[in-house]
Chain A
Amino acid sequence: MSALFKNRDLVIPGEVLYEGRIRTGDNTYRTQGKVSATRIGLVDYNQNMVSVIALEAGFNPLVGDLVIGEVIDIGLGSWTVDIDAASKAVLNVPDAIDVPFRTDIVMPDILDIGDTIVAKIVDMDRRRTPILSILGRGLGKIKDGFIIRLTPSKIPRLIGKKGSMVNMILKETGCRIAIGQNGRILIHGKTREQEETVVRVIEKIDREAHISGLTNRVQRYLKKLKEKK
Chain B
Amino acid sequence: MSSRKKKTKFKRYDGRETNELRPIKIESGVLPNADGSAYIEMGRNKILVGVFGPREMHPKRFAKPNMASIRCRYHMAPFSTDPRRSPAPSRRDNEISMVMRYALEPAIFLERYPKSVIDIYAEILEADGGTRTACINAATVALVDAGIPMRDLVASCAAGKMDEKIILDLGDYEDKEGQADVPVAYMPKLGKVTLLQMDGILSTDELEQCISLAIDGCMQIYEIQREALKKKYGLTEEEVEEK
Query: Does B12 sit within 8 A of A, measured CB to CB?
Result: no
Contact assessment for A14 and B54 in the assembled complex, using a CB-CB cutoff below 8 Å: no
| Residues of chain A with a CB closer than 8 A to B148's CB | 58
Q: Is B241 on the interface with A (CB-CB < 8 A)?
A: yes
B189 & A56 in contact (Cβ 8 Å cutoff): no
Cα–Cα distance between A31 and B191 once the two chains are bound (Å):
12
Pick out which of these stretches binds chain A: B122-130, B198-206, B226-234: B226-234
| Contact size range, B | 35 or more
Q: What residues of A have a CB within 8 angstroms of the CB of B56 in the complex?
A: 86-88
In chain A between 87 and 124, which residues have their CB closer than 8 angstroms to a CB of chain B? 87-88
Candidates A12, A16, A87, A213; contact of B230 at CB < 8 Å = A12
- Per the CB 8 Å criterion, the residue count for chain A at the interface is 32
A176 within 8 A of B: no
Find out whether the CB atom of A55 lies under 8 angstroms from the CB atom of B149.
no
The answer, yes or no, to whether A150 is at the interface (CB within 8 Å) is: no
Bound-complex Cα distance A58 to B118 (A):
12
Q: Is the CB of A13 within 8 A of B144?
A: yes
A211 pairs with B235, CB closer than 8 A? yes
Tell me whether A212 and B237 are in contact (CB under 8 A): yes
- B36 interface residue per 8 A CB criterion: yes
Q: Which residue of B lies closest to A221 (CB)?
A: B243
Considering the chains assembled together, what is the distance between the CA atoms of A13 and B188 in angstroms? 11
Q: Quick check: B147 and A57 within 8 Å, CB to CB?
A: yes
A29: Cβ under 8 A from any B Cβ = yes
> Does B35 interact with chain A (Cβ within 8 Å)?
yes
| A157 within 8 Å of B (CB atoms) | no
CB of A172 within 8 A of chain B?
no
B145 contact set on A, CB distance < 8 A: 40, 56
A210 nearest CB neighbor, chain B only: B233
Asked if A86 contacts B150 (CB within 8 A), the reply is no
Contacts A38-B109, A151-B147, A217-B241; A15 near B189 (Cβ below 8 A): yes
Question: Is residue B48 within 8 Å, beta carbon to beta carbon, of the partner chain?
Answer: no
Shortest distance between the CB of A165 and any CB in chain B (Å): 16
A39 on the B face (CB < 8 A): yes
Given A208-B235, A208-B240, A211-B235: A39 and B190 within 8 A (CB)?
no
Is A153 in the interface zone, CB < 8 Å from B? yes
How far, in angstroms, from A16 to B54 measured CA to CA in the complex?
A: 25
Given contacts A86-B53, A86-B56, contact A38 B237 (CB under 8 A): no
Q: How many angstroms from the CA of A14 to the CA of B151 in the assembled complex?
A: 5
Chain A residues at the B interface, C-beta cutoff of 8 Å? 10, 12-16, 27, 29, 31, 36, 38-40, 54-58, 86-88, 127-128, 151, 153, 207-208, 210-213, 217
Chain B contacts to A: CB under 8 angstroms: 35-36, 53-56, 68, 109, 113-116, 144-153, 187-190, 226, 229-230, 233, 235-237, 240-241
A-B contact pairs, 19 of them (CB 8 A): A10-B230, A12-B230, A13-B144, A13-B151, A14-B152, A14-B153, A15-B189, A29-B109, A36-B151, A36-B152, A38-B149, A38-B151, A40-B229, A56-B146, A58-B35, A58-B147, A86-B55, A208-B235, A213-B237
